């Protein structure tokens, strides 16, 4: 008998206008990068690593790769709104990270990549995803919900 252990992720992007109307919505699988996998293993051993605390967005279009350690063109990094264990069962354990890029706080433009980090700058990147452009106007709110599952 062979065990198969996988770490996967999915990001849900929700862009709303100033009245709360949905302008764009996406659910996309992502990549947990090598440093993210090493981070998970170190936490299993009890190594003192800072928990994931921030999410970043950027305008880079370079496809994600296991060896990446940062976004290619980061434009904004903000603290997570919440992080919660959402599923604990035989088929997989999941952690959900939520981040809200509020309206009128200076971030706007053609966003095309996102990542989860354990620091306000630099730090360890757990996961990264590139996607078709999400055009965020200054008055829009972008909510990113990222679920990482170990199964």
106-125 pLDDT, tens per residue?
A: 788 999 999 999 999 999 99
Structural domain contains residue 11: yes
Q: Count up the domains in the chain and report the number.
A: 1
Q: Residue 13 has what pLDDT? A: 97
Structural domain contains residue 134: yes
SS3 of 66, please?
Answer: coil
b/e per residue, 108-118, with b = 16+ CB within 10 A? bbebbbbbbbb
Rounded to two decimals, what is the model's pTM? Answer: 0.89
Q: Residue 91 has what pLDDT? A: 57
**Rounded to an integer, what distance in angstroms lies between the CA atom of residue 143 and that of residue 99?**
6
Q: Residue 40 has what pLDDT? A: 82
Residue 11: which domain range? 7-150
Q: Residue 84 has what pLDDT? A: 80
Residue with tokens 């936490």: 43
Structural domain contains residue 2: no
Structural domain contains residue 120: yes
User: Which residues of the chain are modeled with pLDDT < 50?
Assistant: none
Structural domain contains residue 1: no
């Amino acid at each position: 008998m062979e065990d198969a252990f996988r770490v996967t992720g999915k990001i849900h992007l929700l862009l709303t206008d100033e009245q709360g109307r949905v302008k764009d919505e996406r659910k996309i699988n992502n990549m947990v990068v090598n440093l993210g996998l090493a981070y998970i293993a170190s936490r299993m051993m009890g190594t003192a690593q800072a928990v994931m605390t921030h999410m970043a967005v950027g305008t880079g279009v370079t496809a994600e790769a296991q060896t990446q350690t940062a976004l290619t063109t980061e434009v904004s990094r903000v603290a997570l709104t919440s992080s919660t264990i959402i599923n604990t069962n035989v088929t997989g354990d999941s952690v959900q990270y939520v981040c809200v890029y509020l309206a009128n706080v200076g971030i706007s433009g053609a966003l095309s990549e996102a990542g989860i980090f354990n620091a306000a700058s630099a730090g360890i990147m757990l996961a990264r995803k590139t996607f078709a452009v999400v055009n965020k106007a200054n008055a829009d709110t972008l909510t990113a919900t990222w679920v990482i599952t170990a199964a």
